[in-house]
């Protein structure tokens, strides 16, 4: 029976003639796991005592957070590296770039191949006429171990783009036009074969842009049958899989792209696309160029042509991330990186950037970003709002300070205005009355005796939690990086007292290392000595700290202790002994009585 693109590829890799709905085991040409999910793939293999089927067809790609700036990503990457060394698996490490792009650039995947990865945009492979499928950790572990996985052959759809877009439109604008027509589920469950006069003109970068956003249309994959020019670029000789002329499709659609101009998607929904003119003038705080959708050389060149000799608007941040190291190198060789730097942009390591919570591209609450990414779901790229647009539109908007098109950039960016809705923040302490009599100066409590010197601030409150600003949420992480006390927060009770050795709080200046104990209701910290910055932080926060003179057997874990801050007396009531401590200074007592350095007695 004549086959569609998906039927021909799955048929070839399963050794069977297939049609929609059939379930078959499919040979996988390339099996990949990323830093995102890769460690779980390794865990699944180890937990089930499975070996790797073919190391030459198995790879790791580190693209979500290539700098390892997040501790969890760094840990996952190292887990994958160690496993790869043990098994002889190739690692496309942090210097490589987006795994799907690397697989195309390095010739790992050819037209007609099957590629799987822990990447929901593995269907980018449709850009070269290969089948790519994003999968979960269990599926990828099975592919690593068996070299094949089962597939249910999806239904096929023939999608034809009619007409030609306007002269200022890019492949991203055409893709947004498709989203406007198809919505978030217009290709749901389908493998689409894409045709049209415009499609035949697309270079690899343009094909990747359209193929990558099939996911946002609900599709399994969009195949763009390769032409001679693409095959030559890929270095492929001979016949490749293409849909047969009399292939039978479940459904056929046409989308008229005639005259399509610059477009953009409004925040929250990639399919909520409108003509760019409807959004012109909307102020932005930041701009991003990159991602698996628009991180190719051609995308960055389009942006550089607009940025050449100009500076981005005051108050606007522009972040740029090339898709791969090869793209980065070409941009460097041709002076494009210099153009970006002179324009005031931040250029990051090749990779996915902010899309997968990476180290570049995230935005903060209330921040408005215009991005070339593929998704702008709420919270996907940070706490702010994200518009989607082409590289040219993003670069133009960064220069203007507001959303605009490449042919409508002001000579001078207008002065930034404060938002009309900006209001004076309300002081949370308004009306609060603090009196010296309301502050406790004596305590009785159970002690945690931790006879360890040089407990640093990372042991107390690890740097992976430093983004937390709400004190009430800090307590749960106290001591979770101190060996033997990882469960401290769950076992500590309000009124407990901590007794430690020398140089407690060595290390960084983080205030959270004090506030986490206040959140748990720890009343006093006794130490032989404190780190200099920690001592100041504790005093200024109104956290009672005292130094004691060490002695044999003066404390045991769980002893009950009475402490009087005014007299400086400390008694171990369990042992019936008095402890020599340094009393509060006048300044420390004054700050403590008023509840902290920034508090005032009223």
CATH of the domain at 332: 3.30.499.10
User: Domain ends where: 374, 400, 426?
Assistant: 400
Same domain, 187 and 332: no
Same domain, 298 and 169: no
Residue 431 is assigned to a structural domain of this protein: no
Kindly state the tokens that stand for 192. 């689409």
Q: Nearest CA to 169 among 234, 91, 68, 261?
A: 261
pLDDT score for 578: 93
Same domain, 349 and 496: no
pLDDT score for 356: 66
Same domain, 241 and 273: no
Given a cut of 80, whether residue 418 has pLDDT beyond it is no
Mean per-residue pLDDT, 90-118 = 96
Higher per-residue confidence, 150 vs 417:
150
DSSP annotation string for 420-433 = TT--PPPPTTTT--
Q: How confident is the model at residue 496 (pLDDT cuts 50, 70, 90)?
A: very high
pLDDT score for 255: 98
Given a cut of 90, whether residue 452 has pLDDT beyond it is yes
Kindly state the tokens that stand for 160. 């034809």
Given a cut of 90, whether residue 353 has pLDDT beyond it is no
Given a cut of 60, whether residue 399 has pLDDT beyond it is yes
Residue 166 is assigned to a structural domain of this protein: yes
Residue 98 is assigned to a structural domain of this protein: yes
Cβ contact 511:471 at 8 Å: no
Q: Nearest CA to 512 among 498, 533, 488?
A: 533
User: Domain ends where: 256, 278, 302?
Assistant: 256
User: Which range marks the domain in which residue 389 is found?
Assistant: 264-400
Given a cut of 80, whether residue 316 has pLDDT beyond it is yes
Pairwise CA distance, residues 349 & 67, whole Å: 7
Given a cut of 90, whether residue 206 has pLDDT beyond it is yes
Kindly state the DSSP code that residue 506 receives in the 8-state scheme. Answer: B
pLDDT tens, residue by residue, 18-61: 999 999 999 999 999 998 889 999 999 999 999 999 999 999 99
Residue 597 buriedness (CB in 10 A; 0-12 / 13-18 / 19+)? middle
Q: Report how far apart, in Å, the C-alpha atoms of 496 and of each of 483, 511, 537, 538 are.
A: 20, 20, 20, 17
Residue 523 is assigned to a structural domain of this protein: yes
Mean per-residue pLDDT, 112-129 = 95
Residue 427 is assigned to a structural domain of this protein: no
pLDDT score for 216: 92
CATH number reported for the structural domain that contains residue 549 in this entry: 3.20.19.10
Same domain, 117 and 223: yes
pLDDT score for 427: 61
Kindly state the DSSP code that residue 283 receives in the 8-state scheme. Answer: B
As beta bridge partners, residue 579 has: 570
pLDDT score for 551: 86
Cβ contact 205:299 at 8 Å: yes
Q: Report how far apart, in Å, the C-alpha atoms of 128 and of each of 12, 113, 123, 236 are.
A: 17, 10, 10, 11
Pairwise CA distance, residues 418 & 413, whole Å: 15
Same domain, 441 and 502: yes
Higher per-residue confidence, 365 vs 430:
365
Q: How many domains does the chain have?
A: 3
| Unique residue bearing structure tokens 């402890």 | 579
Same domain, 306 and 389: yes
Residues 355-389, buried b or exposed e (16+ Cβ, 10 A)? bbbbbbbbbeeebbbbbbbbbbeeebbbebbbbbb
Cβ contact 30:108 at 8 Å: yes
Same domain, 457 and 381: no
Cβ contact 92:62 at 8 Å: yes
User: Domain ends where: 222, 256, 290?
Assistant: 256
Residue 56 neighbours by CB distance under 10 Å: 10
Residue 388 is assigned to a structural domain of this protein: yes
| Unique residue bearing structure tokens 């950039």 | 409
Residue 426 is assigned to a structural domain of this protein: no
Kindly state the tokens that stand for 269. 């929904």
Kindly give the residue spans of alpha helices, DSSP state H, lying in 371-511. 391-400, 457-460, 488-491
Given a cut of 60, whether residue 498 has pLDDT beyond it is yes
Q: Report how far apart, in Å, the C-alpha atoms of 358 and of each of 118, 325, 353 are.
A: 16, 17, 5
Q: Nearest CA to 565 among 515, 526, 516?
A: 526
Q: How confident is the model at residue 428 (pLDDT cuts 50, 70, 90)?
A: low
Kindly state the tokens that stand for 26. 């499919």
pLDDT tens, residue by residue, 168-185: 999 999 999 999 999 999
Residue 407 is assigned to a structural domain of this protein: no
Same domain, 445 and 396: no
Same domain, 221 and 129: yes
Strands (DSSP E) contained in 435-583 are 442-450, 497-500, 524-527, 545-547, 560-564, 569-572, 577-579
Cβ contact 33:66 at 8 Å: no
Same domain, 12 and 63: yes
Kindly state the tokens that stand for 561. 């202790």
Comparing 324-338, 345-359, 425-439, which segment has the lowest mean pLDDT?
A: 425-439
Same domain, 283 and 245: no
Q: How confident is the model at residue 421 (pLDDT cuts 50, 70, 90)?
A: very low
As beta bridge partners, residue 11 has: none
């Amino acid at each position: 029976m004549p086959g569609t693109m998906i039927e021909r590829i799955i048929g070839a890799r399963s050794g069977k003639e297939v049609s929609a709905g059939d379930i078959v085991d499919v040979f996988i040409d390339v099996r990949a796991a990323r830093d995102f999910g890769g460690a779980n793939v390794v865990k699944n293999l180890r937990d089930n005592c499975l070996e790797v089927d073919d190391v030459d067809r198995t790879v790791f790609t580190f693209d979500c957070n290539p700098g390892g700036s997040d501790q969890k990503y760094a840990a996952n990457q190292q887990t994958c590296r160690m496993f790869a060394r043990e098994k002889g698996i190739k690692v496309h490490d942090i210097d490589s770039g987006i795994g799907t792009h690397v697989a195309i650039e390095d010739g790992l995947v050819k037209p007609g191949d099957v590629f799987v990865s822990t990447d929901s945009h593995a269907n980018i492979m449709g850009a070269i006429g290969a089948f790519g499928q994003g999968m979960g950790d269990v599926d990828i572990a099975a592919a690593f171990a068996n070299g094949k996985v089962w597939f249910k052959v999806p239904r096929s759809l023939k999608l034809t783009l009619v007409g030609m877009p306007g002269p200022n439109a890019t492949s991203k604008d055409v893709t947004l036009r498709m989203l406007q027509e198809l919505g978030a589920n217009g290709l749901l469950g389908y493998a689409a074969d894409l045709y049209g006069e415009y499609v035949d003109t697309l270079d690899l970068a343009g094909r990747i842009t359209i193929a990558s956003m099939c996911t946002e249309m609900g599709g399994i994959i969009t195949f763009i049958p390769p032409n001679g020019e693409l095959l030559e670029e890929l270095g492929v000789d001979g016949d490749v899989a293409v849909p047969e002329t009399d292939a039978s499709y479940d459904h056929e659609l046409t989308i008229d792209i005639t005259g399509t101009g610059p477009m953009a998607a409004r925040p929250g929904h990639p399919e909520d696309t409108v003509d760019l003119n409807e959004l012109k003038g909307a102020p932005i705080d930041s701009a991003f160029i990159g991602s698996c959708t628009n991180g190719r050389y051609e995308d960055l060149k389009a942006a550089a042509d607009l940025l050449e000799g100009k500076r981005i608007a005051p108050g606007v941040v522009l972040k740029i991330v090339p898709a791969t190291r090869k793209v980065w190198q070409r941009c460097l060789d041709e002076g494009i990186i210099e153009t970006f730097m002179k324009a005031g942009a931040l250029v990051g390591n090749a990779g996915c950037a902010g899309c997968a919570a990476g180290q570049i591209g995230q935005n903060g609450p209330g921040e408005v970003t215009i991005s070339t990414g593929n998704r702008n779901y709420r919270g996907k790229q940070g706490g702010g709002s994200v518009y989607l647009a082409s590289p040219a539109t993003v670069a133009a908007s960064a220069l203007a300070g507001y959303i605009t098109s490449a042919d409508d950039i002001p000579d001078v960016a207008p002065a930034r205005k404060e938002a009309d809705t900006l209001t004076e923040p309300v002081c949370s302490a308004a009306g609060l009355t603090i009196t010296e009599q309301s502050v406790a100066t004596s305590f009785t409590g159970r002690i945690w005796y931790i006879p360890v010197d040089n407990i640093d601030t990372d042991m107390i409150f690890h740097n992976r939690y430093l983004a937390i600003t709400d004190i009430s949420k800090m307590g749960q992480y106290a001591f979770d990086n101190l060996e033997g006390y990882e469960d401290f927060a769950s076992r500590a009770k309000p009124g407990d007292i901590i007794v430690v050795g020398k140089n407690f709080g060595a290390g960084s200046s983080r205030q959270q290392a004090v506030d986490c104990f206040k959140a748990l209701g720890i009343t006093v910290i006794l130490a032989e000595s404190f780190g200099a910055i920690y001592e100041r932080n504790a005093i200024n926060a109104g956290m009672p700290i005292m130094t004691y003179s060490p002695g044999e057997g003066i404390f045991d874990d769980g002893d009950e202790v009475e402490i009087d801050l005014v007299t400086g007396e400390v008694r171990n009531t369990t042992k019936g002994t008095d402890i020599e401590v340094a009393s509060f200074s006048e300044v420390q007592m004054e700050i403590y009585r008023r509840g902290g350095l920034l508090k005032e007695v009223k």
